[in-house]
Amino acid sequence: MSGNAGWTILGDTGLARLLRHAARYVDTNHPLTIATEAGDAPADAIGVGPGVYASSIRHVVPFFTAFEAVEEIQRAIAEGEVGSVYGCYASMRIPRGSSPEALIAGGVGPVLAVCRDLLPDPVARVWATRASLFGENDAWFITLRLANDAIVTIEALASAGASARELLVEVTGSNQVLRAEPTTQGIRVEPLGNEAMVWPWWEDLAERCLALIDRRATAGRWLDGDDLRAVWNAVQQSAATGQAVDLHPHQAQPG
């Protein structure tokens, strides 16, 4: 089945339009439906972008996992090259002055999904805070303790230095420490007498994301949407109460 015939991409977001354009160039042997918004979606749809938080979606592929460097970390973990995984640190920075809603949609949500995809062991405990560095509700700091005692540390910031979303992922294991900064590539322009500008320049993720989805459909490997939403709900509860939230393993099984 050709890519044109096999892909159904729902939503009217910029991401949906990018994926529709890319679908002309990526073949799939599966009839696949992708939801890019957190509204109603078929139960068999695959959540990408904000669509990962649609209540009916069980199969999730985080968009930023499609970066080649992040995929390489995932491969090294899966093939045992990292050894025993002790922890993961991840950061997503978006431009300073972004709204709290934009920080959640562009920072917290994507980086949380990437971390759960890389380390899908059940989450045992969640601690989170909505701290303030420069303005009101401009940062989230999240710690997840997994059932295998690995620690995931996440920060999402509205940072003065970010001209677009900046992603950092670092996984520490007994054999290796792997670090990916796929969004730091850019062209810096310094006009005379004016403030310097940085234009982000990185690989086109739309085609890579569709190819990743097709491979996972063949392998039957997905991030479980119910798991992701349970962890996100615990993150919000912890941030609101200031207390750690315990999750039982049966509530957060990997997909």
* Between 252 and 193, the higher pLDDT residue: 193
Dist. CA 1–CA 76, nearest whole Å? 31
Q: Averaged over 23-49, what is the pLDDT?
A: 88
What pLDDT score was predicted for residue 182?
A: 86
Dist. CA 142–CA 31, nearest whole Å? 37
| Angle subtended at Cα 222 by Cα 218 and Cα 225, rounded to the nearest 5 degrees | 145
Residue 208 has pLDDT above 70, yes or no: yes
Residue 26 has pLDDT above 60, yes or no: yes
Ordered by where they begin, the domains of the chain are 3-251 (3.30.360.10)
Least confidently predicted of 42-51, 69-78, 194-203, 221-230: 194-203
Least confidently predicted of 18-32, 63-77, 196-210, 237-251: 196-210
* Between 40 and 143, the higher pLDDT residue: 143
The answer to whether the CB of 38 falls within 8 A of the CB of 60 is no
Q: Averaged over 18-38, what is the pLDDT?
A: 91
What does the DSSP assignment read for 121-152?
Answer: SPEEEEEEE---SSSTT-EEEEEEEETTS-EE
Helix intervals (H) in the chain: 3-6, 14-23, 68-78, 100-103, 109-118, 205-219, 225-241
Q: Which residues contact 44 (CB under 8 A, 6 or more apart)?
A: 33, 59
What pLDDT score was predicted for residue 98?
A: 87
* Between 126 and 181, the higher pLDDT residue: 126
* Between 80 and 253, the higher pLDDT residue: 80
Dist. CA 131–CA 141, nearest whole Å? 7
Residue 250 has pLDDT above 60, yes or no: no
- The tokens describing 132, both together, are 């303030």
